[in-house]
Structure 1
Amino acid sequence: MKKLGTFFKYFILIVASFISVFPFIWMILGMTNKTVDITAGKLMIGSELITNFQNLFANNLDFKRALLNSAVIAVIITVFSLLLSSMAGYGFEIYRSKKKDRIFNFLLLSMMVPFSAMMIPLYTMFSKLSPSPFGINTLFSVIIPSVCTAFNIFLFKQNIKSFPKSLVEAARIDGLGELAIFFKIYMPTAKNIYAAAAIITFMGSWNNYLWPLVALQSPEKRTIPLVLSAMGASYTPDYGMMMTGIVIATLPIAAVFFVLQKQFVQGMLGSVK
């Protein structure tokens, strides 16, 4: 009976794993085939890989420029979000007071507001900043709303609860300033939570579609999700070219995750405790 239970457990896990991995397998196979083969459900390696690559980078949607735009936006958002969110979380936990706790609770409430409800106020605000570098239809109009999020602040605040406060007191006695304590003592001990937050922030920025669709109106400012959406919106979409673009767009996220996956798990576990 025990062996039968073990068999069913592994059988369910294998089926679930296959269902999860199959879309990626189909996507990789699709980038080697023509549109007619993909729509026919062909699950074999084709001979159109080079042609699909050539069509992708020769397309008038400028896929290379979209890659650069997405990379710039995702990297800047990730770096500034980690810095500002960790400093905010550190401040809320280390310098606790009733007033700060109320402000933090208000920040948590902001997570319940759907982003679609904030688009009109955001668009109005950035429109008034035009034609400055921070106005609408600039990369900064996409970057600024995401440089510090309530979720990341919450993530760091929860992690700092397990940070030994005695280290802070000892550093103060030794004459270290508050910024020096943060950068020289806390940050080196919080690599795992920084890795977890980096993965979450980078993925969210790289895959962001709704706000860039509204804020970025010029073709040369498009990001990867906007270009992929435009490919599928044509009258006769080239699915082979689309699959190639999707695979290329997935590689940076996969690379970041696989490099930081160990720290990601440890960081998330540390924040949940």
Structure 2
Amino acid sequence: MTRTLREVPKYVYLTLVALVSVAPLYFMAVSATNSTQDVLASRMWPGSHLLENWQTLTSQQDVGAAMYHSTVNAVLTTVLALVVSSIAGYGFEVYHSPNKDRLMWVLMLAMMIPFAATMIPLFQLFADFGMVNSSFAVVLPVIATPLLILMFRQSARSFPHEIIEAARMDGLREFSIFWRMFVPTMRPTYAAAAVITFMAAWNNFLWPKVILVKSTVQTMPMLISNFSAGYVIDYGALMLAVLIASLPTIVIFFVLQRSFVAGFTGVVK
């Protein structure tokens, strides 16, 4: 009984933190069903304006096209980033050398350079190749991030090198060792990296805003920005757009939640 009483403050604190964390999501979902006046009045219970907000949103913005382009960009970014970063992290650790350590330090220092400093040269580069308004122009600059490479390198350190040597003696090729032995073992790390990359790619705004000039290829963050740029803002429809844009990342996180935590635990170890 004494131990249970000691646990009460902890659970009360965790409950309060959970409520504070969920409150913005609840307000967003409720506001999507309310009118602009109700949203500005901070009404905290559902209304009856969901269909009206949907009609207002779809009459002014092409939600389907924005969702499609956001999905394509996020999925391409996630898949390519996992492939490139996992191979790089595996190579940094398994084929270790002092020169690769120096290169890793260069990659880590590159994280300190703000993206705004490289945005104009990147735009000029993709414009010269005729890739403006294409998904590859959005995806290519972010498929090899130092953070993901470091994550996979740290995970590769826990991979037994004796197994690699035994596989080589049995005649297994290097790519087969990576694909058939390393990849299945590092599933939690892949899940954690997938969640981070997908959420970052889905919410990416600045670079798509620069490289996607045509409104027909806009993403959901761009749609929300354009919808809220008028003189008169329909906050009910705006909240509905934010809710729609948030659903994919929420679903991805909850589906991969356990693997996400396990992946970061493995990285720390």
TM-score (norm 1): 0.94
Q: Does 1:28 align with 2:24?
A: no
Supply the distance in 2 between the matched residues of 1:199 and 1:255 (Cα, whole angstroms).
Answer: 10
Supply the distance in 2 between the matched residues of 1:64 and 1:236 (Cα, whole angstroms).
Answer: 23
Q: Does 1:119 align with 2:115?
A: no
2:137 aligns to what?
Answer: 141
1:209 aligns to what?
Answer: 205
Give me the CA root mean square deviation. 1.5
1:230 aligns to what?
Answer: 226
1:220 aligns to what?
Answer: 216
State the Cα distance separating 1:12 from its structure 2 match.
3.0
C-alpha deviations, 1:3-28, integer Å up to 9, x for none? 88655443333332222111111111
1:249 aligns to what?
Answer: 245
State the Cα distance separating 1:200 from its structure 2 match.
0.3
1:101 aligns to what?
Answer: 101
Q: Does 1:65 align with 2:65?
A: yes
Q: Does 1:48 align with 2:46?
A: no
State the Cα distance separating 1:57 from its structure 2 match.
2.3
Equivalent runs, 1:133-212 vs 2, <5 Å: 135-212=131-208
1:263–1:3 CA distance, 2 compared to 1 (3 A):
closer
C-alpha deviations, 1:194-251, integer Å up to 9, x for none? 0000000000000001111111110011111010111111111111111111111111
Q: How many residues align?
A: 268
Supply the distance in 2 between the matched residues of 1:144 and 1:206 (Cα, whole angstroms).
Answer: 15
State the Cα distance separating 1:99 from its structure 2 match.
1.1
TM-score (norm 2): 0.95
1:14 aligns to what?
Answer: 15
Unaligned ranges ≥5, structure 2 = none
C-alpha deviations, 1:140-184, integer Å up to 9, x for none? 111110111111101100011000111111110110110111111
* AA matched with 2:165: E
State the Cα distance separating 1:54 from its structure 2 match.
2.3
Supply the distance in 2 between the matched residues of 1:34 and 1:149 (Cα, whole angstroms).
Answer: 42
Identity of aligned residues (%): 44
Unaligned ranges ≥5, structure 1 = none
State the Cα distance separating 1:112 from its structure 2 match.
1.2
Equivalent runs, 1:71-86 vs 2, <5 Å: 71-86=71-86
Supply the distance in 2 between the matched residues of 1:164 and 1:70 (Cα, whole angstroms).
Answer: 39
SS of 1:199's equivalent in the other structure is helix
* AA matched with 1:37: D
SS of 2:256's equivalent in the other structure is helix
